[in-house]
Structure 1
């Protein structure tokens, strides 16, 4: 994984010292709240409902065991003994004291981590597939490209104060596990007919108050021109994006207003000044980025005899394999997803003790590395199959082995009204109530893959727009209610969910979800998933069931 060079380390340490001085001046009254706000935001610091919240970057979702132990220590020493992994592969601490933030940043710098540009109107942390570099279906490993984007975008003076926040995601192949079509820019690695490597480029995606699916602006961009083309898009946005209304300031609004053809034309005109310029990538630059992501030293000729026996004779272990284990490009290895969706905690939460224990497991079973997924789970990326049974037993002891990845229990959920000052309603209790209502594993497996996403407000941090079932917290005369949508998807066949009808009271939500599932089970064809059934039969049968007279 990426290791800081002297320049990186110096930049991050200088940034910590700079923010320490800014924080001290603010606390002493020498900086106003208005002056301090943009400074704290570009260092990942929000003021939430109850306390400051610090968002820490995890570039391309990769963590070392050393870094995870440092996060555990921060949670223990500065927070309430836990951290919260987000849908953009970051981690948030919800209870740090403002005056301690510089100390936290200094500790992060010691393990090559930071909170730079995790908030504010700038280019945020670039995200990618949590199986990057190990997935068998990859066209190419997206991580070196993410690193090149990170280097270009970090503290870029021209894009430090954009009209609004800006998010870029990269997918390594045709199966999108990075939700690229709901980002401001989405990049899909692909090869053309001449077998040359490049990108399909999408622009103008995003969720929030006005959700949109990104439109393709370029079918094939040769890789040397990646940075210059991104810069061209950003320049068009920086010049023409709206700054008079923050609700209309995202690039998706500009793309919609101009139309994709006009936006493409303006980008091409800008690119004419940048193409083949000094930011054009060279083979040397690409190889340098690739060197940070060398193949680890894996063993060969792994004996999987015991693994196959255990899989056949232990039903619980077999369930875990079916849902939480993904095939690996290296024979004899697999990737293991650790569920952070235990009903006793908010989705994405993990205690400091668990972080320490997972770090130990990463050292013992996964070559010292792990990943963060945008579904708010953790992944051990290089597990030998002959060690998987032992690992599973240890994960079960830590309550991290729930065999429910990809099922209805694997809920994506924002912190909601329990923490966020922007939220209209609580989201965590809804997730927990649904988990409690539908907890039979046999029933979950029979239902198959269902994405249930919950947001506490229209900012859509829980990605409710692209859930097969989406839930949005709304305020009705001071009361918390929940709007349900159906048919969303964040994959290569991305779509936005359609609102079912009037919102529901909190106590009614488990029944509503149960009704929706009953319709699916009654109407589905053999081997048909929830999203397929919905697309075939439409919304009407679901709507009729949940709003039936006997439920009113």
Structure 2
């Protein structure tokens, strides 16, 4: 895990002092809200529906137990006792008071954390595969590259006033767990002839105009990676639309100019900027990599795990659902669900954060990860410790066995908090999860990703959900559109809209009809929802969603006959 050097420490403390002065001037009236707005956004502070919201960066989703403890302290001291983990691997506090924000930022700096560039038209928090450094299918740990990009992009003088926000994700495995093709730039680490490099994917993004990223270059050696990224962002900074914020993202620039023209411009710019790096980026990467050495894995019996798995059905259900394969013999990756049915997806109380920190200290090499799916990962756990971990999670109300299932829903804060939202997301997620928990069908249904956004900005990634739900305002009434067949993995696909939307009180029954149809249509328990949809297409699912329309068409056909 990366540790700040003297420069990092001084830089963050200086930013805290600077923003503290700006907050004081806003409070005494020296700064108007209009003048203060760009300053607070540079430090992750939003003004939401009911209060300020502070978004804290968790670079590439990695936390120590000490940092998690501090997040709990902040939640308890300055907020309402909880935090919300987001699809950008950040944490948001929804109720801070403006005079307290400098103290929060100072407390964050005490544990080498900050809120810089979690907002504004800059390069945002760099995200990565939440199984990085642990997964069995990994080519290389992407976190050193993500840290290199973080250091390069933070306060980069050319990229502080970009046409729009800019998001980068990095994966080091063939399986895409970072949704790289839905980012402005996505990097997939690859090895070619013994040389490590990356495929550069550009122009992905969701929101108002969802697009799947295109390969800008299939392989860039690591020694060229940073100058190539600089060239790419620089080209977009010049070409990107500033006359229309809805057309300002790089996906629109790539669409309007074409990938071939963008590639040619990037190559030209790359030739200009590469000499300026002079190898300093590789020296930095070498220093960074030393921070990400794997923990000292041990060899010991897994008898305790085997006994618990055989004797305890509750433990077995959790282990079979929430564990993933680890690269080290005798180890597992644990995903801790923050999606207990009926609760707000992604929320964790201060007590739960402290419990997770303690589990990490005791059993997981003092490391935690936040996933873009709004869950918490213990990346390095010996199987012999799993029964004790499960017991500790149960005590903290964190032992829900639903990873990848119906109730493991991604949901943005929606109209309960967000000033941009046009509909509620949280109650819809709670309603769906609660209903299928009542039906006891989750494990029978199997893998199914439901993603919900409360507005067209798509913070809930609904476009790449197997079932996506988009909440909109229709003449002052909440209306929920459904998309099907989306996929955020290495086979990224944007979901297809089914038809007219559903009222708030209709959306949960509509999802129930949809999933009931899947259970009837699938060839067997081994065929997932997505596989069934790809085999049969939209029509049978539309029939399930709109039975009254199908019945009306039948009556009209019979009458005509």
Normalised-by-shorter TM-score class: over 0.9
- Give the aligned partner of residue 173 of structure 2: 173
Measured after TM superposition, the shift of residue 475 of structure 1 is 0.5
- Give the aligned partner of residue 222 of structure 2: 223
8 Å contact from structure 1 (residues 60, 143) kept in 2: yes
8 Å contact from structure 1 (residues 423, 457) kept in 2: yes
8 Å contact from structure 1 (residues 466, 497) kept in 2: yes
Distance in 2, matches of 1:71 and 1:308, equals 35
Instruction: Mark the runs of 5 or more structure 1 residues left unpaired by the alignment.
Output: none
- Give the aligned partner of residue 417 of structure 1: 415
Distance in 2, matches of 1:93 and 1:415, equals 11
- Give the aligned partner of residue 397 of structure 1: 395
- Give the aligned partner of residue 349 of structure 1: 347
SS in 2 for 1:277: helix
Distance in 1, matches of 2:46 and 2:269, equals 35
- Give the aligned partner of residue 549 of structure 1: 548
Measured after TM superposition, the shift of residue 345 of structure 1 is 2.4
Change (3 A) 1:7 1:409: same
8 Å contact from structure 1 (residues 227, 279) kept in 2: no
Distance in 1, matches of 2:304 and 2:94, equals 44
Distance in 2, matches of 1:391 and 1:480, equals 42
Measured after TM superposition, the shift of residue 518 of structure 1 is 1.5
Query: Does 1:273 pair with 2:272?
Result: yes
Measured after TM superposition, the shift of residue 190 of structure 1 is 0.5
Structure 1 residues 437-452: aligned runs within 5 Å:
437-439=435-437, 443-452=441-450
- Give the aligned partner of residue 153 of structure 1: 153
Distance in 2, matches of 1:412 and 1:271, equals 38
Measured after TM superposition, the shift of residue 281 of structure 1 is 5.7
8 Å contact from structure 2 (residues 422, 473) kept in 1: yes
Measured after TM superposition, the shift of residue 283 of structure 1 is 4.9
Measured after TM superposition, the shift of residue 287 of structure 1 is 2.1
- Give the aligned partner of residue 503 of structure 1: 501
8 Å contact from structure 2 (residues 467, 485) kept in 1: yes
SS in 1 for 2:175: coil
Measured after TM superposition, the shift of residue 525 of structure 1 is 2.1
Query: Does 1:68 pair with 2:80?
Result: no
SS in 1 for 2:197: strand
8 Å contact from structure 2 (residues 117, 123) kept in 1: yes
8 Å contact from structure 2 (residues 342, 434) kept in 1: no
Structure 1 residues 95-494: aligned runs within 5 Å:
95-192=95-192, 194-278=193-277, 280=279, 283-300=282-299, 302-439=300-437, 443-494=441-492
SS in 2 for 1:472: strand
SS in 2 for 1:438: helix
8 Å contact from structure 2 (residues 144, 289) kept in 1: yes
Measured after TM superposition, the shift of residue 360 of structure 1 is 1.0
Residues 130-161 of structure 1: per-residue CA shift (max 9 Å, x gap): 11001111111101101110110010010000
Measured after TM superposition, the shift of residue 34 of structure 1 is 2.1
Distance in 1, matches of 2:365 and 2:139, equals 24
Distance in 2, matches of 1:309 and 1:159, equals 55
SS in 1 for 2:441: helix
Residues 83-102 of structure 1: per-residue CA shift (max 9 Å, x gap): 00000100000000011111
- Give the aligned partner of residue 9 of structure 2: 9
8 Å contact from structure 2 (residues 342, 431) kept in 1: no
Distance in 1, matches of 2:458 and 2:225, equals 29
Instruction: Mark the runs of 5 or more structure 2 residues left unpaired by the alignment.
Output: 553-561
Residues 393-425 of structure 1: per-residue CA shift (max 9 Å, x gap): 221121111110000110000000000011101
Distance in 2, matches of 1:394 and 1:293, equals 27
8 Å contact from structure 2 (residues 341, 437) kept in 1: no
8 Å contact from structure 1 (residues 122, 164) kept in 2: yes
Change (3 A) 1:282 1:432: closer
- Give the aligned partner of residue 536 of structure 2: 537
8 Å contact from structure 1 (residues 225, 281) kept in 2: no
Measured after TM superposition, the shift of residue 285 of structure 1 is 3.1
SS in 1 for 2:473: strand
